Amino acid sequence: MNTQELTMEQAQQVLHKYYGYPDFREGQKRIVASLLEGRDTLGIMPTGGGKSICYQVPAMLLPGMTLVVSPLISLMKDQVDALTTAGIPAAYINSTLTGKEVNDRIRAARRGELKLLYVAPERLELDWFRLEMAELPLACVAVDEAHCVSQWGHDFRTSYLAVSPFVEELPNRPILAAFTATATPEVMEDMTRLLRLRDPGVFVTGLGRDNLAMSVLRGENKKDFVLQYAAAHGHEPGIVYAATRKEVDDLYQRLRSAGFAAGRYHAGMSDEERAESQEAFLYDDIRVMVATNAFGMGIDKSNVRFVIHYNMPKNMEAYVQEAGRAGRDGEPSECILLFSAQDIMTQKFLIEQNPQDSERKANDYRKLQQMIDYCYTTRCLRSAMLDYFGEAHEDKPCGICSSCTDDRELIDITVDAQKIFSCIHRMRERFGIALVASVLKGSRSQKVLQYGFDKLPTHGAMSGRTEKEITEIVNVLISEGYLALSEGQYPVVRLQQPAAEVLRGQREVLQRAARASRTGGSSRDRSRARDYSPSAVNETVFEQLRLIRRELAGREHVPSYIIFNDATLREMSIAAPQTEDEMMSVKGVGEVKYRKYGKAFLEFFQSDSYSNEG
């Protein structure tokens, strides 16, 4: 057996002992192997894909300590709580600590008592901290949410630029590892360059997660949908993202008035209010969190069963990261985007309100248009997402997204498409969607008359449709590549090569029949997503296990999912372990957690109350 095989065997032993899993996922295995070889590493893995294990397990094996650069106080606390609960020596240093607490943790690091230390990127800019770290044997510096280093990323944070100078100043350069959930090829290049990764191993792993049913719904009554969805899934934790504080407050009040255990989170609340709301959500005291995008980066709550976007996000990176907070435990979960044309105006307003240079603003508009295209596409949503991030994948439908499960009749709209393309051509490809729709409708507005467009043969060519319907068709044609929009606040619509083929009669254009507006009911009914839950799960037993977990969590003052996640409890309810070995063979238990928590669950399965239930 060579050294590398032995090292990976040791890594698997650590994984099972502390995390309760028999083996790494394929993507994790390659990243762990890269780090154990002493190689700089860049890992792109989906939210819930197990990024943290990729540097935490090597940290237990490498000599010295691993310094983790983490962007949020809440993320540090979650990670350290989970590590210490699993028996791994870890700590964080941030602004919530007193000077004495900081000094105590630095001394613990000096004594070699810590394997992981979490800090914010801003701390790397402090002279005293750099001096302290220079005295320690740092084996690895792991940079979480590493996309923040790129100005083309969706969460650019200038303090991340301090990582590379910090590492280069250390007397002995440690391994540098960077991780993020979402990065385009452009952002990946930025991360490699700005962090000065040396000949890194680059691993892009499975952004498409089989347990997530993705849906885009247009034309819904959004308020009614959220209320009725919450009623149908009242026992499941979920997040509703809205674009503005006003919408968050309104939805929160509606849910509370309807009797739901809801919380809210946005930048207009005090730090104390936000902390209380987040903690209540983590501890399952509230079921639905209504929030702006200020909430969630790095939230490790594993049992979020749904994420609803009340408004379209500003770009695909933000959407995938936020939607990916559902189903981190691998259980079936839903990601629903409620889209309306007003969302486009809201996001354009937010771009204009943000002071930034023209190049950055143009990039934001380009990304916004790509997000709009996603909302209108008739392609498999998972394939569209993977194509955006440049991930190689099999060209086959996922079978569970709203596009794949859409059984509406396909209708031929070739003639309408030809009218639209002809109109755009006659308008010299110099105007936006709204004016094109006005001309096709036959409007005699001041602008139409000013340009003489009322004299065009295509004026009124689609008078039987509303301007909104025409606009919808144009947007679908854009998403399908027949048309393109220029960048900027006022984009111009232009013809693409496939449009010429349609105009020449060489290509048909098909579209799904219009969907009547619907409210209420379960999105799972709408999308007919597969039910991944094992039929063998006894829901009564599962709920009893959750009660045991909640009692243990209250005693330990940690969120329930840190004890065991829902997937572990479900497997436990099926396996019904009767011995210590059987309990430790359940995924997610392991040796350390069994010693701390396993006996309470084992006693339940050995008790008369379980026998009677069985």
- Tell me the residue length of the chain: 614
Average pLDDT over residues 318-342: 89
pLDDT computed for residue 186 by the predictor = 84
Average pLDDT over all residues of the chain: 87
Confidence of residue 173 (pLDDT cuts 50, 70, 90): very high
Domain with CATH 1.10.10.10 in the chain: 410-512
Give the pLDDT confidence score for residue 381 in this predicted structure. 94
Q: Is 472 exposed, middle or buried (0-12, 13-18, 19+ CB in 10 A)?
A: buried
What pLDDT score was predicted for residue 207?
Answer: 74
Supply 590's token pair: 């392991």
The per-residue pLDDT for 132 is 95
Q: Is 487 exposed, middle or buried (0-12, 13-18, 19+ CB in 10 A)?
A: middle
Angle between helices 414-426 and 467-479 (to 10 degrees): 90
Instruction: For the domain covering 410-512, report its CATH number.
Output: 1.10.10.10
Tell me: the pLDDT tens digits for 269-297? 998 898 899 888 988 889 999 999 877 65
List, by residue range, all CATH 3.40.50.300 domains of the chain: 3-204, 212-388
User: H helices within 398-532, ranges in order?
Assistant: 414-426, 433-441, 446-450, 467-479, 497-503, 523-527
What's the pLDDT tens digit per position in 124-148? 999 999 999 999 999 999 999 898 8
CA separation for the pair 297, 612 (Å, rounded): 44
Residues of the chain with CATH 1.10.150.80: 539-613
CATH number, span 539-613: 1.10.150.80
Top-confidence residue, 209 or 497: 497
Q: Percent helix, strand, coil in the chain (nearest 5)?
A: 50, 10, 40
Please name the CATH architecture into which domain 3-204 falls: 3-Layer(aba) Sandwich (3.40)
pLDDT attached to residue 296? 65
What topology is assigned to 212-388 in CATH?
Rossmann fold (3.40.50)
**Confidence tier at 151 by pLDDT (50, 70, 90):** confident
Q: Tell me the C-alpha distance between 420 and 415, whole Å.
A: 9
